[in-house]
Amino acid sequence: MKKLLTTVSMFFLLAFFACNSDNADHLSENELRDKIMAVHDEVMPKMGEIHNLGKKLKQLSKTQLADEDGASKTIVSAIEYLEKADDGMMDWMGDFKQPSKLRGNKSHEEIMAYLNGQLKQVNQVKKDINGSIEKAKELLDSYSKAE
């Protein structure tokens, strides 16, 4: 009877620690996911600004002023940068997988590696979005001062 009680106790202890380990793994995965989503949530509202700046630059490229000094190439480059930033966000969002969808198919270490890679990617998306907006605004400002 003592042997049975000891075996059952050991089973419950192992099950308890296994569950706590899974919970800790899930918690660390979710914390990293939250960091990723915080970056996304910071820059996602800027997508409308990207579209508006792109429209303004396309309009500017049609003006006679834009034909001076090879300016149209600079404007086209700024438009392409905005489009690249927009595409980067859309592609990243389409490819991103929540940790809960990966569990069962991947180990905790694989999920953490995936999420760390996603954090790098979304930070690059942020850099592209902010950089393209800054470049577009500077360009538009330089032409508005020239008029």
- Residue 10 domain-assigned (yes or no): no
- Residue 14 domain-assigned (yes or no): no
CB atoms within 10 A of CB 89: 21
Q: What DSSP letter does each residue of 123-145 carry, written as one string? A: HHHHHHHHHHHHHHHHHHHHHHH
- Residue 133 domain-assigned (yes or no): yes
- Residue 140 domain-assigned (yes or no): yes
Range of the domain at 76: 25-146
pLDDT of residue 43: 96
Residue 12 confidence (pLDDT) above 80: no
- Residue 142 domain-assigned (yes or no): yes
Residue 21 confidence (pLDDT) above 60: no
- Residue 137 domain-assigned (yes or no): yes
- Residue 82 domain-assigned (yes or no): yes
Q: Is the dihedral of CA 91, 111, 115, 22 positive or negative?
A: positive
Number of domains in the chain: 1
- Residue 55 domain-assigned (yes or no): yes
Quick: pLDDT tens for 46-95: 999 999 999 999 998 887 555 666 778 888 899 999 999 999 999 999 99
Say what the pTM is. 0.79
Q: Is the dihedral of CA 136, 139, 144, 147 positive or negative?
A: negative
